[in-house]
Structure 1
Amino acid sequence: MLTTVVFDADETLLDLRPAVTGGLATVLDEMRRLTPAAAGVLLADLESDWDAVFGELSAAPVVEIRRAALARSAARAGLDDHLDELAALFFARRYALTRPYPDVLPALAALRLRWTLGFATNGNSRAERCGLGGEFTFELYAHENGLPKKPAPQFYASVVEAAGVPAGQVVHVGDSLAHDVVGPQRAGLRAIWLNRLGLPRPPGVQPDAEISTLADLPTALDRLQPAGVAVSGRPGSRHVADLESIVGSAEQ
Structure 2
Amino acid sequence: MVRAVVFDVGETLIDETRIFSRWADRLGVPRGTFLGLIGACAATDRPLADAFRLTRPDVDLDAEISRWATDDPTGLRENFDADDLYPDVRPALAALRDAGLGVVVAGNQPPQARAALEAMDLPVDAIRTSDEWGVEKPAPEFFARVADLAGLPADEIAYVGDRLDNDVLPAAAAGMRPVLIRRGPWGYLHAARPDAARVEVVDSLTELPALLSR
TM-score band, normalised by shorter chain: 0.7 to 0.9
Residues 3-22 of structure 1: pairs in structure 2 closer than 5 A: 3-22=3-22
Partners of 1:143 and 1:82 in 2: CA distance:
19
Tell me which residue corresponds to 1:206: 197
Decide which moves more: 82-91 or 195-204: 82-91
Within-5 A mapping of 1:23-38: 23-25=23-25, 27=26
2: CA distance, partners of 1:103 / 1:83: 30
Match of 1:119 among 68, 87, 105: 105
Task: Please state how far the C-alpha of 1:73 moved relative to its aligned partner.
Answer: 4.8
Following the alignment from structure 2 to structure 1, what is the Cα–Cα distance between the partners of residues 113 and 130? 11
Q: Which amino acid in structure 1 is aligned with residue 130 of structure 2? A: A
Q: Please tell me the residue identity of whatever aligns with 1:100.
A: L
Q: Which residue of 2 aligns with 1:86?
A: 68
Q: Name the count of aligned residue pairs.
A: 196
The structural deviation recorded for 1:74 is 10
* Alignment CA distance shift 1:215-1:75 (3 Å): same
1:179 aligns with 2:163: no
- Residue 182 (structure 1) shift: 0.8
In 2, Cα distance between equivalents of 1:15 and 1:146: 25
1:132 Cα deviation after fit? 3.5
Of residues 118, 121, 124, the one that matches 1:136 is 124
Aligned-residue Cα RMSD (Å) equals: 3.8
What is the correspondence of 1:1-252 to structure 2 with a 5 Å cutoff? Answer: 1-25=1-25, 27=26, 41-43=28-30, 47=34, 69=52, 73=56, 84-87=66-69, 89=72, 92-96=76-80, 99-113=84-98, 114-124=100-110, 126-130=113-117, 132-147=120-135, 149-196=136-183, 198-199=188-189, 200-223=191-214
Shift of 1:160: 0.4
Task: Report if the CA contact (8 A) 1:181-1:207 is conserved.
Answer: no
Where do 5+ consecutive residues of structure 2 fail to align? 39-45
Counterpart AA for 2:205: L
Q: Which fold has the larger relative contact order, with Cα–Cα distance below 8 Å and residues 6 or more apart in sequence?
A: 1
Cα offsets for 1:26-50 (capped at 9, x unmatched): x35xxxxxxxxxxxx43369939x9
What are structure 1's unaligned runs of at least 5 residues?
A: 29-40, 52-56, 224-252
Query: Normalised by the size of structure 2, how large is the TM-score?
Result: 0.73
Q: Select the structure of larger CA radius of gyration.
A: 1
* TM-score under structure 1 length normalisation: 0.63
